[in-house]
Amino acid sequence: MTSSPSSDALYLFHEGTQYQSYRFLGSHLEERDAVGGVHFAVWAPNAKQVNVSGSFNGWDGRNHAMSVSDGVWTLFIPELKEGTLYKYEIITSNDDCYLKSDPYAFSSELRPGTASIVTSLGGYAWQDEDWLARKTAHQFLQQPLLIYEVHLGSWKRKEDGGFYSYGELADELVDYVVEHGFTHIELMPLMEHPLDKSWGYQVTGYYSVTSRFGTPQEFMYLVDRCHQRGIGVIMDWVPAHFCKDAHGLSRFDGVPLYEYTDSRKGEHPTWGTHIFDYGKPEVHSFLISNALFWMDVYHIDGLRVDAVYSMLTLNFDRSEEERITNDEGGEENLEGIAFLQKLNAVIFARYPNALMMAEDSSSFPGVTEPAQQGGLGFNYKWDLSFTWNTLDYMKKSQEQRSGLEPQLTKSLQERRNENYILPYSHDEMAHPDKSLLGKMSGSDNWQRFANLRVLYAYLIGHPGKKLLFMGSEFGQEQDWDSEAALAWDVLQDREHEQFQHFVKALNHFYISEKALWELDYAPEGFEGIDLEDTTDGLVMFGRKGKEDEALIMVCNFKPETHEGYRIGVKEPAQYREVFNSDHSDFGGSGVINESAQTAEEWSCQNQPYSITVTIPPLAAVIFQKKQMEG
């Protein structure tokens, strides 16, 4: 990487179009006049003086004063080595002295320390060329996308309670993900953060991969191993806010710098965090460089952008008395919207097949429309309404569910105006919300597991890509605890072991069937079957692929078996059961359709032909169309 900023680089930085600012800001090992050392550069335009303080000078920076040009302070210190601890000693206009970590540090000290560490990101020999070559040809909207969301600090723990390292996860986690049929992992938390129990949403080191689990090169190995096994890597990315820790970005040079000056715009009252100033060009350069940094340096395949709703409005989570408006009189954060559009345009210009996912609970239109058409420019949006509606339904007893089936079918019947990901994420597993299994109603444990099987099968069959949080795949009962490992010991119980077997089988079935993902966002990829009449607890629909691959999905959300049930179909073909969540191997009651069903010329559900099948209780059955021979 280059180090000293050129006048052109600084011009672009201040213009908000410097998208590799990490190449010259921060600390960089280099050689000058045959002498090795470290070049430091930091943006602090309001400081009276900035010095470099560290382990090499007894944390007294007076002998290592930096010089300033155009708001950026620089200094080359000879003979410093990789691994040197440092901070910036910032003297404010009021002669106060702050010790600040480097906003562009590539590595940070393990807690409780907060120093930045001089770190080289070179030296790793990547072996994921095949993955990168294949990825350039992918059209992800027409590919299977089944994401396993992982909190690295609590997926597993060692016997002494210690964390698994990136290297250990590269072996054990990657094997597990491949075995269970997931296509991607989404990792949290990756950027350095202040607490071990953090979910990663209060960041102190945007360019520092967290040191809790190892070094930058060890994290590269984890990503590399994922790619070598055909697994994509997505990271949680947090441009909506940052924490107020004294060593971090907050009032960096004595006054608001990265955050809005107006506290009404610059603070999240509930979260207790600062909001980035999206109207400041240098903040654009910082954040967009950061997004690209993880792709450039660590080969990350995509970003799940957290808390997008809070970036779209000036009054997120504010009381009526605190509400403010923009210059046009509306409540939209016009600068936040413009930033997101710019972010996505830049990302896709460099990485056309990147995954950019908005975690957005708003009704803002066009989240996945291109920015040039007025959209935000993401290629995916989390469908949180799907999550909330389905789980609210599944929590209810059979008596309470009566008449509420439209909660399930709303997402099928409404026009699909976004490219959705259907998430059952960490938010649905954490206290006090209970795990997915903990949310399921049922008169006994069998019904609870059956409810979870039919729900997960419904998720897989529903148009849209999928996300499942760790532990859900084996039916963890307790709330997720970010300070402890998942409850792997429950797999000694046959019910949990059978449920894990079910999820694994369903995942692999999903990957193998183009009808379940190839036309996720095309009208011809889905056809509802009598969705207006769900009083019997049945939700039925068809899924199709490009080459006439066709499946019929039947989900029974009630505990009654339906024998001799007639389903309308369009053509005289055979229909064979290819998946059944009630299979005894999965812990079900074993009600299956053993023989293929030949369509009869018997009109039903507005179709000229029909088949007669058995539908098991609290179960999903998938039938595949087979053309009749002869």
pLDDT in tens, 479-521: 999 999 999 999 999 999 999 999 999 999 999 999 999 999 9
The first and second tokens of residue 535, run together, are: 């009083």
pLDDT the model gives residue 2 = 47
pLDDT the model gives residue 1 = 47
User: Is there a domain that residue 313 lies in?
Assistant: no
User: Is there a domain that residue 608 lies in?
Assistant: no
Cβ neighbourhood burial of 443 (10 Å; 0-12, 13-18, 19+)? exposed
Q: How far apart are CA 540 and CA 554, in angstroms?
A: 5
User: Is there a domain that residue 359 lies in?
Assistant: no
Number of domains in the chain: 1
Query: The domain that contains 62 carries what CATH number?
Result: 2.60.40.10
User: Is there a domain that residue 62 lies in?
Assistant: yes
Nearest to 352 by CA among 575, 137, 606, 65: 137
* Mean pLDDT calculated for residue range 474-480: 94
Question: Is position 359 annotated as part of the catalytic site?
Answer: yes
Cβ neighbourhood burial of 163 (10 Å; 0-12, 13-18, 19+)? buried
Please, what is the end-to-end C-alpha distance for the chain in angstroms? 67
Q: Which of 359, 360, 383, 405 is catalytic?
A: 359
Cα R_g (the chain), whole angstroms: 27
Range with the lowest mean pLDDT among 134-143, 277-286, 467-476?
A: 134-143
Contact 577, 593 (CB under 8 A): yes
User: Is there a domain that residue 35 lies in?
Assistant: yes
pLDDT tens-digit readout, 606-626: 999 999 999 999 999 999 998
Contact 142, 82 (CB under 8 A): no
User: Between the CA of residue 300 and those of 76, 135, 289, 290, 306, what are the distances in Å?
Assistant: 31, 12, 14, 12, 16
Residue 630 in this model has a pLDDT that exceeds 60: no
User: Is there a domain that residue 142 lies in?
Assistant: no
User: Is there a domain that residue 104 lies in?
Assistant: yes
User: Is there a domain that residue 203 lies in?
Assistant: no
The verdict on pTM exceeding 0.85 is yes
Q: Residue 75: give the domain boundaries.
A: 7-117
